[in-house]
Each structure stands twice: as structure tokens, then as C-alpha cells.
């Protein structure tokens, strides 16, 4: 399977977009250099067609790990965004306190109240069984920072690695990675989605110094490379994506609002699109 930056660059090449341009010793492609319709067509090429011979689940089963007493909206936004984009099944794994609230938001979500800090080993075994059925994992939205919950999050990462599942890590999941970057180092199906502040903390943990704000492309590429060529999507005025080798910069305008939940919507969307992109590349159906 390809990393996000890998399949984006694959698609850019297949879609006859402009070649990467050179800025010093670093090469990156800007979405702003390409006609918007071409980019949209490229993304559309990843969406699997609906056919009469499909069965439930083939268009994507995603697992969102997050949701505690204080935060019930974040996992809902992540799970529902994947579902609304076209995933067949969207599961939320949360604490007992969060489960009923999340269920009340939508009957479309499958909610599992299995995050139990008192029964970590049992919970991990149940999680492993469920992940056998999943196509993508989203870790972090509304997870919280309870010590035992973070230990469980470590187990989720290890299980995802064992099963070669793409894992999108955001929010409190990034807090864990900042404490222990080695958890994802070298796992090329890992995708981190930090905002500027989260990126700065992770960069400082890894390099022992703050990132240079005037060189976001260089810093994102360097961090992705240092972490073993995982994919990093730094959100900001311009979104910078890199797997440590290639870089894609998106200057597309969005809403100037900065309300809570936007990152959760992104992580859920990336979860299902990552699965679709792998399907398209492996089948040779991407344009």
C-alpha cells in the first residue's frame, strides 16, 4: 500500500498534472499549479463505483478510536464524515460514558463502549478481533489523555501495524506520538495530521529545536523523513503533505472559520479516501 503522499503523487502523475518543481534541493508539487478541475477529477478517480455485485462493507469499513466523558463530538464528526463520503460502515470505539451520547447523535454509527482502563488486556484482545474486519483506523478524536487510555492507544497502533492497516492519527493521538515518536517510526501506512501547534511540539521532540516557521515545506519533509518516511499532513494557511521524499502543498482556499471539529472531519475523510486510494492503485483503476 502507498502512503498518502505517495498515492497523491501517483495520481498527480497519472492525471498529467505539472511536474514537481524544484526549490533549492527540495522538490514539491503545488495543487495551486494545476487546474482545479483536473485535481477534482483525480480525486474522483479514487471513488469506487457502485455496482450490483457488491456486498455491505466492500466500499469501506472504518474504525474511529476516541470518545470519553468530556469529548463526544469529535469521534462523531470523524466517523460520520467517513460515512457521509461513502464508507459502508463506520465504527466508534469509546468509553462507556461516551457511548450512549454518541449513539444518540446518529443511528448510522456502530458504537462499541470497550475502552476500559481497568481491563486493558481484555480490551486489546477484543480490539484485535474487530480490526480484522476494518480497512482503516482513525485514532485520537476525543480520546482524552488518561494514562491508561493512552496505553490502550499504544496497543491500537501496534495492532494496526501487525495487520498493515492505514492509521490516521490526530488530536490526542498526536499527544501520544509526541511523547513516543518511536510508535510510528518507519510505519509507512501511518498518517499524522497535526495543526501548526501540534507539529511544532512533535518537531521539537524529535529534533530538539523549534521548526523554522518561514520554511514549512522543509520542516515537514525533514520530520517525515526522520520518522522513517511516514506521511505528515500539516494543516495551516497552506496544507503541507510529505512522506519524507515527495511533498505536496495545497493552497486551496477554505472557510476562514476555526471552529472545533474541522480536524475531526478531515481525519474521518482521510480514513476512507486512504482506503479507496489503495483499492484504486492496487486494481489499476485510477485515472
What string of pLDDT tens digits covers the 287 residues of the chain? 555 555 454 444 443 333 333 333 344 555 545 455 666 787 888 888 888 998 999 999 999 999 999 999 999 999 999 999 999 999 999 999 999 999 999 999 999 999 976 777 668 889 999 999 999 999 999 999 999 999 999 999 999 999 999 999 999 999 999 999 999 999 999 999 999 999 999 999 999 999 998 999 999 999 999 999 999 999 988 899 999 999 988 877 777 888 899 999 999 999 999 999 988 888 776 55
- Is residue 16 part of an annotated ligand binding site? no
pTM: 0.87
- Is residue 238 part of an annotated ligand binding site? yes
Distance CA 197, CA 142 (A): 17
- Is residue 237 part of an annotated ligand binding site? yes
- Is residue 53 part of an annotated ligand binding site? no
pLDDT at 6: 53
Distance CA 209, CA 146 (A): 27
Q: In the block, which residue shows the cell 486494481?
A: 283
Q: How many residues does the chain have?
A: 287
- Is residue 75 part of an annotated ligand binding site? no
- Is residue 257 part of an annotated ligand binding site? yes
- Is residue 142 part of an annotated ligand binding site? yes
pLDDT at 156: 97
- Is residue 258 part of an annotated ligand binding site? yes
- Is residue 261 part of an annotated ligand binding site? yes
pLDDT at 3: 52
Point out which residues pair with 29 in neighbouring strands: 248
- Is residue 69 part of an annotated ligand binding site? no
- Is residue 68 part of an annotated ligand binding site? no
- Is residue 242 part of an annotated ligand binding site? no
- Is residue 160 part of an annotated ligand binding site? no
Kindly state the cell numbers that stand for 79: 466517523
- Is residue 250 part of an annotated ligand binding site? no
Instruction: Go through 42-81 and write b for each residue having 16 or more CB atoms within 10 A of its CB, e for each that does not.
Output: beebbbbeeeeeeeeeebbbbbbbbbbeebbbbbbbbbbb
- Is residue 255 part of an annotated ligand binding site? yes
Distance CA 174, CA 36 (A): 31
215: nearest Cα among 187, 249, 186: 249
pLDDT at 222: 98
Helix (H) or strand (E) run with residue 92 in it: strand 89-95
> How is the beta sheet containing 190-192 ordered, strand by strand?
21-23, 26-30, 247-250, 239-242, 231-234, 190-192, 167-169, 136-139, 61-65, 89-95, 110-115
**How is residue 170 annotated by DSSP?**
-
Cα maximum dimension of the chain: 55
- Is residue 34 part of an annotated ligand binding site? no
Task: Report whether 241 contacts 270 (CB < 8 A).
Answer: no
Task: Report whether 91 contacts 134 (CB < 8 A).
Answer: yes
Task: Report whether 228 contacts 187 (CB < 8 A).
Answer: yes
- Is residue 236 part of an annotated ligand binding site? yes
- Is residue 154 part of an annotated ligand binding site? no
Distance CA 279, CA 18 (A): 24
Count of CB atoms situated within 10 Å of the CB of 82 = 31
94: nearest Cα among 55, 51, 149: 149
pLDDT at 284: 73
- Is residue 263 part of an annotated ligand binding site? yes
Amino acid at each position: 500500500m502507498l502512503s498518502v503522499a505517495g498515492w497523491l503523487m501517483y495520481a498527480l502523475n497519472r492525471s498529467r498534472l505539472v511536474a514537481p518543481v524544484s526549490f533549492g534541493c527540495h522538490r514539491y508539487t503545488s495543487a495551486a499549479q494545476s487546474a482545479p478541475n483536473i485535481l477534482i477529477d483525480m480525486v474522483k478517480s479514487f471513488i469506487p463505483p457502485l455496482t450490483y455485485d457488491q456486498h455491505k462493507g466492500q466500499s469501506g469499513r472504518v474504525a474511529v478510536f476516541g470518545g470519553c466523558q468530556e469529548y463526544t463530538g469529535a469521534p462523531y464528526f470523524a466517523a460520520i464524515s467517513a460515512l457521509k463520503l461513502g464508507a459502508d460502515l463506520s465504527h466508534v470505539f469509546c468509553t462507556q460514558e461516551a457511548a450512549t451520547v454518541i449513539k444518540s447523535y446518529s443511528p448510522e454509527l456502530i458504537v462499541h463502549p470497550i475502552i476500559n482502563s481497568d481491563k486493558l488486556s481484555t480490551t486489546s484482545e477484543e480490539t484485535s478481533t474487530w480490526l480484522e474486519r476494518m480497512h482503516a483506523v482513525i485514532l485520537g478524536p476525543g480520546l482524552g489523555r488518561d494514562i491508561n487510555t493512552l496505553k490502550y492507544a499504544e496497543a491500537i497502533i501496534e495492532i494496526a501495524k501487525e495487520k498493515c492497516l492505514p492509521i490516521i492519527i490526530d488530536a490526542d493521538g498526536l499527544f501520544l506520538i509526541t511523547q513516543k515518536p518511536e510508535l510510528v517510526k518507519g510505519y509507512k501506512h501511518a498518517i499524522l495530521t497535526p495543526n501548526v501547534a501540534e507539529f511544532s511540539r512533535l518537531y521539537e521532540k524529535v529534533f530538539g529545536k523549534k521548526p523554522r516557521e518561514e520554511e514549512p515545506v522543509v520542516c515537514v519533509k525533514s520530520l517525515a523523513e526522520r520518522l522513517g518516511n511516514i506521511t505528515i499532513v500539516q494543516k495551516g494557511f497552506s496544507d503541507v503533505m510529505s512522506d519524507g521524499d515527495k511533498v505536496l502543498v495545497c493552497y486551496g482556499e477554505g472557510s476562514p472559520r476555526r471552529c472545533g471539529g474541522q480536524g475531526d472531519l478531515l481525519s474521518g475523510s482521510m480514513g476512507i479516501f486512504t482506503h479507496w486510494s489503495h483499492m484504486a492503485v492496487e486494481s489499476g483503476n485510477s485515472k
